[in-house]
Amino acid sequence: MKAIYLDHAATTPVHPKVAEAMTESLQENFGNPSSIHSFGRKARQVLDKARSVAAQSIKATEKDIVFTSGGTEADNIAITGVALANQDKGKHIITTKIEHHATLHTAENLEKQGFDVTYLDVNEHGVINLEQLKNALRDDTILVTVMMVNNETGVIQPIAEIGELLADHQAYFHTDAVQAYGMLPIDVGELKVDLLTVSSHKINGPKGLGFLYVHPDVTLQALQHGGEQERKRRPGTENVAAIAGFTEAIQLAQTEREQRYQQYQNYRDLFLQILRDRNVNFSLNGENSERVPNIINVSFPGTNVEALLTNFDLSGVAASSGSACTAGSVEPSHVLSAMYTENSSCTTNSIRFSFGLANTQENIAEAAEKVAKIVQRLTN
């Protein structure tokens, strides 16, 4: 039995061309990009190219790109870095209840350090209310951070509108674009964002790498200290081979974006059609919102996440849920809790299926049949 991977929002398989670029770099380009000799220069070329490719992908310039160890670190630098560097202007931060834990736990940590954080609600469709944001803004607000696409539901937040709203306010605007990047076109100027987070391993690149876009006007305090790398904003010798792979992954994501978008939409429609054809009782969380096509969050009434995921895995379907179930503790999904209240059964019976490189029309159909069968068995 070959297992079918429907968890691309967790991580993605490395694209063969990415692996090729990384292997080549590992074997033939070991230099330290900070060195002044020929070995260093050769490695530095990889870095320069990566920075240029990354910048172009979001319509920014090279100097605005800070490579990090991934999305989590980029979020940490953006939020804590801005907070610490701008506390003379205020100590108020606005975020949402549906952010990734990299944002939420960073915000909570700042609260312990005396910052004041407002967590915006979302409606039952998973979208924030711009009026609530407007009302939450204060003279001492220094940062607003709202994710572009939610990692559990795929729901898109009104980033351009927020950017517009903040245009005349001192607060910097950060968006975690980890799940959006590669699916949606991104232009930091148009969106009026000051900081933007991207992760490599969500777009078929290697793990342990990401970048943060930082607008030249943003003042940022570094969170770690060392050499001059990344203009001191993120010191440490660069992971050159991974960066070479990331470059390849970005280029592929850029050139294939529209085609992938269409393909994943087809996968999604096929998957849901099979569930309907098999009379599976389900609802789609965030159904009426704008969503990316590669993530769906499906509630199966009368079931629970543990039984579903275990059954799926044992029958060769890999999916996940927003409910953390480490060591048998089921924490209801904070995203679905924010959408429906904590007591809604949706928070403990919803599964995220996310599509990508590991999928084909055939294995999507096969997976959907298996899912339908299991849900039928568990609910009858």
Partner 1 sequence: MKKNEDTRVIVGMSGGVDSSVTALLLKEQGYDVVGIFMKNWDDTDEFGVCTATEDFDDVVRVCNQLDIPYYAVNFEKQYWDKVFTYFLDEYKAGRTPNPDVMCNKEIKFKAFLDHALSLGADYVATGHYAQVRHTGDRAEMLRGVDDNKDQTYFLNQLSEDVLKRVMFPLGNLPKTEVRRIAKENGLATANKRDSTGICFIGERNFKEFLSEYLPAQPGKIMTLDGEVKGEHDGLMYYTIGQRQGLGIGGPGGPWFVVGKNLEDNVLYVGADYHNDALYSDALIATDINWINEAPTEAFHCTAKFRYRQKDNGVTVYPNEDGTAKVIFDNPERAITPGQAVVFYQDEICLGGGTIDEIIKDDKYLDYVG
Give the footprint of partner 1 on this chain (CB under 8 A). Answer: 306-307, 309-311, 313-314, 325-330, 377-378
Closest CB to partner 1 among 165 and 308? 308
- Identify the CA nearest to 81 among candidates 225, 229, 226, 221: 221
Residue 229 tokens, joined: 């790398």
Dist. CA 299–CA 105, nearest whole Å: 26
Among 19, 184, 325, 358, which one carries the catalytic annotation?
325
Question: Can you say how many angstroms the Cα of residue 69 is from the centroid of all Cα atoms in its chain?
Answer: 14
Closest CB to partner 1 among 160 and 314? 314
Beta strands in 208-344 (DSSP E): 210-214, 283-284, 295-299, 317-318
Q: In the complex, what is the shortest distance from the CB of residue 13 to partner 1, in angstroms, rounded to a whole number?
A: 20
Closest CB to partner 1 among 357 and 378? 378
Q: Is residue 346 flagged as an active site residue?
A: no
Closest CB to partner 1 among 330 and 358? 330
Dist. CA 194–CA 82, nearest whole Å: 11
Dist. CA 92–CA 69, nearest whole Å: 27
Dist. CA 322–CA 330, nearest whole Å: 10
Q: Which residues contact 85 (CB under 8 A, 6 or more apart)?
A: 219, 220, 221
Q: In the complex, what is the shortest distance from the CB of residue 6 to partner 1, in angstroms, rounded to a whole number?
A: 17
Q: Which residues contact 352 (CB under 8 A, 6 or more apart)?
A: 7, 9, 152, 153, 295, 296, 297, 298, 319, 320, 321, 322
Question: What letters, b where the CB count within 10 A reaches 16 and e where it falls short, cover 7-29?
Answer: bbbeebebbeebeebbeebeeeb
Q: In the complex, what is the shortest distance from the CB of residue 329 to partner 1, in angstroms, rounded to a whole number?
A: 6
Closest CB to partner 1 among 270 and 307? 307
Q: Are 216 and 63 in contact (CB under 8 A)?
A: yes
Q: Which residues contact 256 (CB under 8 A, 6 or more apart)?
A: none
Q: In the complex, what is the shortest distance from the CB of residue 311 to partner 1, in angstroms, rounded to a whole number?
A: 6
Query: Angle at Cα 146 formed by Cα 144 and Cα 148, nearest 5°?
Result: 145
Closest CB to partner 1 among 214 and 346? 346
Dist. CA 154–CA 54, nearest whole Å: 23
Closest CB to partner 1 among 146 and 309? 309
Q: In the complex, what is the shortest distance from the CB of residue 45 to partner 1, in angstroms, rounded to a whole number?
A: 41
- Identify the CA nearest to 78 among candidates 222, 189, 241: 222
- Bridge partners for 128 per DSSP: 122
Q: In the complex, what is the shortest distance from the CB of residue 308 to partner 1, in angstroms, rounded to a whole number?
A: 10
Q: In the complex, what is the shortest distance from the CB of residue 234 to partner 1, in angstroms, rounded to a whole number?
A: 29
Residue written as token pair 């969503």: 291
Q: In the complex, what is the shortest distance from the CB of residue 377 to partner 1, in angstroms, rounded to a whole number?
A: 8
Closest CB to partner 1 among 200 and 311? 311
Active site (catalytic) residues? 325
